[in-house]
Amino acid sequence: MTADRTKRNCLAVILAAGESTRMKSSKSKVLHPVAGRPMIAHVVDALARAGISDIALVLGRDADKVEAAAKNAAVKNSVHIQTERLGTAHAVLAARDAIAKGYDDVLVVFGDTPLITDAPLKAARDGLAKGVDVVVIGFETADPTGYGRLIVEDGELIAIREQKDASEAERAITYCNGGLMAIDGRKALDLIDRIGNDNAKGEYYLTDIVEVVRASGGHAIAVEAPEEELTGCNTRAELAVIERLWQQRRRLEMMLEGVSMIAPETVFLSYDTKIERDVTIEPNVFFGPGVTIESGALIHSFSHIEGAHIAADAEVGPYARLRPGANLGEGSKVGNFCEVKKAEIGRGAKVNHLTYIGDAIIGEKTNIGAGTITCNYDGINKHLTQIGAHAFIGSNSSLVAPVSIGNGAYIASGSVVTMDVPDDAVAFARARQENKEGRAVLIRARNQAIKDAKKKAAE
């Protein structure tokens, strides 16, 4: 028996064939996102971190989509379709061909437990490496009502007793079955094949494997995981609970790594959000996928950021939206009520307020005035706006792409720029102002006459 887990191979069987009836959804529940990622992808990621490279996906509904969601460069997946629903043991046997290849360890997990981490998975495999036949992952809870109880004597797992079958003393046990388990791969098929269906539902329950093992002279133990890691999902309400728990855990990790969050409970992260130390995040900020923020940046309240890179000491918001492709240089600023999409904002450049920058390159130290718009879309194609370094774009300017504005150039406020502007030039692109003396009096008189006529007609 190899006592070192790292020298043993392992097959993980993910059970994800449920109909998801209680989710009231048009798609499989394991496709529903947690932190912007399908929940089954979280499970696969935990398996990969635990050093498991082979996974058997037991699928039913939306099999193709679930298979795609479970793809991970660190693992190799095989797909096994479960056509009947005859209990968890029967579901595992849908992957019989994979199990029969002869792994040292077989790990059984569920596709709807996205909070699981690699620690309990490794602990379960460590038990197998020491010669145990079955290791059940359990949890302690203040309220065990409804859970199967783990009956442990002298370190041995004697049985898993369902609530309806438990004695009064057994119901007082707070050590409960989490559903996940590891099985000696050389014995897995034989043990599971020996599980019967002598129960009210006529189903084959994987939990009965403990009694099968003990009846054959084998050994079973339980290892403990935090209760929240084993939280499963059957309804939208439970999905919301899982999201809350995931967010709490990741926020705490980030704050312990040196990120400041003024009101952490109002900050929402994605599974791949990367934030370096000494970043400050004010309340009510949402991060979609693909965000990286470097040290010293400040994110003001009510900002929505996805697919963006924010360099050191940059400032965003409040009420800013950064869309995919936004790349903010060191010390740059995108201020309140601004939107940036697929654009490079140079070092120290400022896009302070009420502005849309899309498909653009802005040089360092350039100032973009309030109300500026890069007119990047002609109804069919997107076009690029290029603005050099140390330029000044006056307020309420429209830059009609494709257009290039040189280094140090000035754009007069209110201009509609349709031609390139050379370095250090000043561009005026607006109609000449004319003042009509006394015309306002005539307009007011006309408007009042119209109003009086409408009132008389109504009478």
Between the alpha carbon of residue 66 and those of residues 109, 250, 302, 448, the distances in Å are 15, 25, 34, 67
Burial class for 114, CB neighbours closer than 10 Å (0-12, 13-18, 19+): buried
R_g over Cα of the chain:
31
Nearest to 243, CA basis, from 283, 271, 210, 282: 271
Whether 353 is a known active-site residue: answer yes
Whether 388 contacts 407, CB under 8 Å: yes
Which amino acid, 296? Answer: G
Cα distance between residue 73 and residue 372, in whole Å? 43
Cα distance between residue 394 and residue 413, in whole Å? 4
| Contacts within 8 Å (CB) and 24+ apart, 400-404 | 400/375, 401/359, 401/360, 401/374, 401/375, 401/376
Cα distance between residue 315 and residue 411, in whole Å? 24
Q: Which of 32, 42, 300, 353 is catalytic?
A: 353
DSSP structure class, residue 155: T
Residue 137 backbone phi and psi in degrees, to 5: -90, 120
Residue burial 233-249, b: 16+ Cβ < 10 Å; e: rest: beeeebbeebbebbbee
Q: List, by residue number, the catalytic residues.
A: 353
